[in-house]
Amino acid sequence: MEKEVLDCSLKDFWENKAKNIFWFKKWKKILEWDYPYAKWFVGGKLNASYLCLDQNIKRGLKDKVAIYWQDESGQEQSFTYNQLYKQVNKFAYALKNIGIKKGDIVILYLPMIPQAIISMLAVARIGAIHTVVFSGFSSKSLKDRINDTKAKFLITADVGIRRGRVIPLKDFVDDALNDVSCIEKVVIVKRSNRKINLKENRDLLYDELINNSENYVEPEPVEATHPLYILYTSGTTGKPKGIVHSTGGYLVYVYNTFKNCFGIDEKTVYWCTADIGWVTGHSYVVYAPLMHGITIVMYEGAPNYPDLSVWWKIIEKYNVNIFYTSPTAIRMFMQYDDKYIKKHDLSSLKRLGSVGEVLNPQAWHWFFNKIGKGKCQIIDTWWQTETGGFMMSPTAKDDIEKLKPGSVNFPLDGIYADVVDKNGCSVTLGQKGFLIIKRPWPGIMIGIHNDDEKYKKIYWSKFKGSYYPGDYARKDEDGYFWLLGRADETLNIAGHRIGTAEIEKVAVSNEFIIEAAVAGIPDNIKGDGFVVFAVIRNGFDNKNNLKEQVILNFRNQIGAFVKPKNVYFVNSLPKTRSGKILRRVLRSIVLGESLGDITTLENEACLDEIKDKVSSSVAI
């Protein structure tokens, strides 16, 4: 990117967006661009907790419900903005009292309970930095993240509850801390009657801290460039990276993208099913919705427990207007009869959102028809932990008729995306290539924690001057963007580069196949060959015939040169704990290689079935 990376109108554009949120002190400079590092709104001061709470109280929203929380047993709790404000202040005071200062890193290892949001906001209130570790992670993954951040403080709960199982989080913490020396204090939210072993001089109970606390803590005005949090990526392509986000640029970005894409108003009831352990949970469960003072729904539990109607029941109960979820969840529901959906009144829904993976056209149509009843826009948002917020997506203004199922529409205003060849030259419309972003934007990460080299190498070395997200894409004749899969998983079959999403789209075009993943393997003649792993609709049998149909679909929809070396029907695919297909693991199994970093693998049990099928199969 050249020295003046933003022209005046783009600077004005972002400056106007920044004016939509409250600053204790106005910035002196909109952007300081020291390639490849961006500092936004330099000189400005603000506080995330103040924006999410104090501001709303000042606007008269004190008695409005901020959070409706429910767990899988139907237990519920709600917090008005005022109640949330009080809890956050008390906890922030307590955190300060136990020695947490501005800039300290605090690990949050908490299930989807209101105290998770309270903790994030309390940490931010005093200018400390949170690192949320998804509570489904093992003690080993927790330990890795503690060691990487060298955090001194940790907040957890005694237990989490999922699918009726009690998950002993505090025991996992104790395990993780056995050979970790940096953690000085652990705060525990006690939820169950289980006895907890409190370690002297280290462990403190949340309730006791709150009960002995003060009602108010002055929010710490932090510099715009001060880190709000460090968060690890999903680990789909390898070892998770500790992404650091700023306070000012990040909050400006998520505030504005949320409003633009979801078109909320003061009455909106919004539910994003993401766990707070992922970036979606940070940007679009907590910060953006609460800054806007809307009502959010928070659910602790799985989508299919106690049965497949639990989500639809929640939408009906709270009259949810905007519902934001993931392709993996959508495809899970598609496997089953829609009787679970039909029982519920979903007429409150106005807009539906998706994030995390390509939303293939079949899943798009299912979501649109079965959940949105043909009247809700599908806001398919492409973005990453690193980008902070939505980058490409339909917006609330877009006509339903103009959306193309499977496409993420266009880059949002202020985002300069392009599709380029390996030399960085724009490809012609309709061609495939590498997605790049040509101008910095306020939500961009400020770095990888403790790893400048990786930051430069991964994102800024492939296409000089541009941000490289690592995804493969196509811009069609009308300028719509289509994500085709991870660039490093793209196959080169007989000279044709084909993204994993293109191949999987063909596999799932068979009505009996719900989800598919492709694993590329070397082919002496064609360069790359591949095998397909497919999950079949519940109850369907006659797999022999289906295999032939799938192969025929490839021939008809792409060409005879794209023939899978095998099609395996499996019950489930290996996924990250954020629900993304781990194709690299499938590939390693097929090639008999070591599986690499599988700390983020959710369902380890599925590997046995896959290994079994692969080892007993005959190539076709």
For binding to ligand ATP (CB under 6 A), which residues are involved? 233-237, 240-241, 279, 355-358, 380-382, 384-385, 408, 469-471, 483, 486, 578, 580
Closer residue to ligand ATP (CB): 518 or 614: 518
User: Which of Mg ion, ligand ATP, none sits in contact with 115, Cβ below 5 to 8 A by type?
Assistant: none
Closer residue to ligand ATP (CB): 125 or 475: 475
To the nearest whole angstrom, how small is the minimum distance from the Cβ of residue 237 to Mg ion?
6
Q: Please list the helix, strand and coil fractions of the chain in percent, rounded to the nearest 5, in that order.
A: 30, 25, 45
**Alpha-carbon 523 to chain mean position:** 34
User: Which of ligand ATP, Mg ion, none sits in contact with 240, Cβ below 5 to 8 A by type?
Assistant: ligand ATP
- Work out whether the CA dihedral 323, 326, 331, 336 comes out positive or negative: negative
To the nearest whole angstrom, how small is the minimum distance from the Cβ of residue 125 to ligand ATP?
26
User: Which of ligand ATP, Mg ion, none sits in contact with 520, Cβ below 5 to 8 A by type?
Assistant: none
Which of 149, 158, 156 is closest to 131 using CA atoms? 149
To the nearest whole angstrom, how small is the minimum distance from the Cβ of residue 233 to ligand ATP?
3
Report the DSSP beta bridge partners of residue 40.
Answer: 31
User: Which of ligand ATP, Mg ion, none sits in contact with 614, Cβ below 5 to 8 A by type?
Assistant: none
User: Which of ligand ATP, Mg ion, none sits in contact with 379, Cβ below 5 to 8 A by type?
Assistant: none
Closer residue to ligand ATP (CB): 152 or 241: 241
CA distance 125 to 222: 9
User: Which of Mg ion, ligand ATP, none sits in contact with 483, Cβ below 5 to 8 A by type?
Assistant: ligand ATP
Are β-strands 527-536 and 185-189 bridged in parallel, bridged antiparallel, or unpaired?
Answer: unpaired
Closer residue to ligand ATP (CB): 44 or 240: 240
Closer residue to ligand ATP (CB): 70 or 236: 236
CB of 85 closer than 8 Å to CB of 66: no
Closer residue to ligand ATP (CB): 269 or 415: 415
To the nearest whole angstrom, how small is the minimum distance from the Cβ of residue 398 to Mg ion?
26
> Residue 241 contacts by C-beta under 8 Å, 6 or more apart in sequence?
232, 233, 385, 386, 448, 451, 454, 458
User: Which of Mg ion, ligand ATP, none sits in contact with 382, Cβ below 5 to 8 A by type?
Assistant: ligand ATP
Beta strands of 45-152 (E only): which ranges? Answer: 45-46, 65-71, 76-80, 105-109, 129-132
CA distance 468 to 464: 9
To the nearest whole angstrom, how small is the minimum distance from the Cβ of residue 208 to Mg ion?
40
Any idea of the CA torsion for 429, 431, 432, 438, to the nearest 10 degrees? -30
Closer residue to Mg ion (CB): 233 or 510: 233
User: Which of Mg ion, ligand ATP, none sits in contact with 408, Cβ below 5 to 8 A by type?
Assistant: ligand ATP
DSSP 403-460: --TT---SBPTT--EEEE-TTSPBPPTT-EEEEEE-S--TTS--EETT-HHHHHHHHH
User: Which of Mg ion, ligand ATP, none sits in contact with 203, Cβ below 5 to 8 A by type?
Assistant: none
User: Which of Mg ion, ligand ATP, none sits in contact with 356, Cβ below 5 to 8 A by type?
Assistant: ligand ATP
CA distance 119 to 474: 41
In the three-class reduction of DSSP (H, G, I as helix; E, B as strand; rest coil), residue 41 is classed as strand
CA distance 141 to 383: 24
To the nearest whole angstrom, how small is the minimum distance from the Cβ of residue 384 to Mg ion?
5
CA distance 129 to 123: 6
What single-letter amino acid sits at 36? P
User: Which of Mg ion, ligand ATP, none sits in contact with 275, Cβ below 5 to 8 A by type?
Assistant: none
Closest residue to Mg ion, judged by C-beta, is 233
> Residue 524 contacts by C-beta under 8 Å, 6 or more apart in sequence?
none
Backbone phi and psi for residue 613, each to the nearest 5 degrees, phi listed first: -65, -40
To the nearest whole angstrom, how small is the minimum distance from the Cβ of residue 556 to ligand ATP?
25
For 547-562, letters b (16+ CB in 10 Å) and e give beebbebbeeebeeeb
Closer residue to ligand ATP (CB): 174 or 471: 471
The CA angle 98-102-107, to the nearest 5 degrees, is 65
Closer residue to ligand ATP (CB): 414 or 470: 470
User: Which of ligand ATP, Mg ion, none sits in contact with 381, Cβ below 5 to 8 A by type?
Assistant: ligand ATP
Closer residue to Mg ion (CB): 243 or 567: 243
Closer residue to ligand ATP (CB): 367 or 512: 367
Which of 277, 313, 278 is closest to 297 using CA atoms? 313
CA distance 250 to 362: 33
Interacting positions 188-247 with Mg ion (CB under 5 A): 233
CA distance 232 to 145: 8
User: Which of ligand ATP, Mg ion, none sits in contact with 580, Cβ below 5 to 8 A by type?
Assistant: ligand ATP
Closer residue to Mg ion (CB): 149 or 233: 233
To the nearest whole angstrom, how small is the minimum distance from the Cβ of residue 407 to Mg ion?
20
- Count of residues near Mg ion by CB under 5 A: 1
Beta strands of 476-565 (E only): which ranges? Answer: 481-486, 491-493, 496-498, 513-523, 527-536
* Residue whose token pair is 């403080």: 153
To the nearest whole angstrom, how small is the minimum distance from the Cβ of residue 260 to Mg ion?
23
Closer residue to Mg ion (CB): 174 or 386: 386
What single-letter amino acid sits at 140? K
To the nearest whole angstrom, how small is the minimum distance from the Cβ of residue 231 to ligand ATP?
9
Residues at the interface with Mg ion (CB under 5 A) = 233
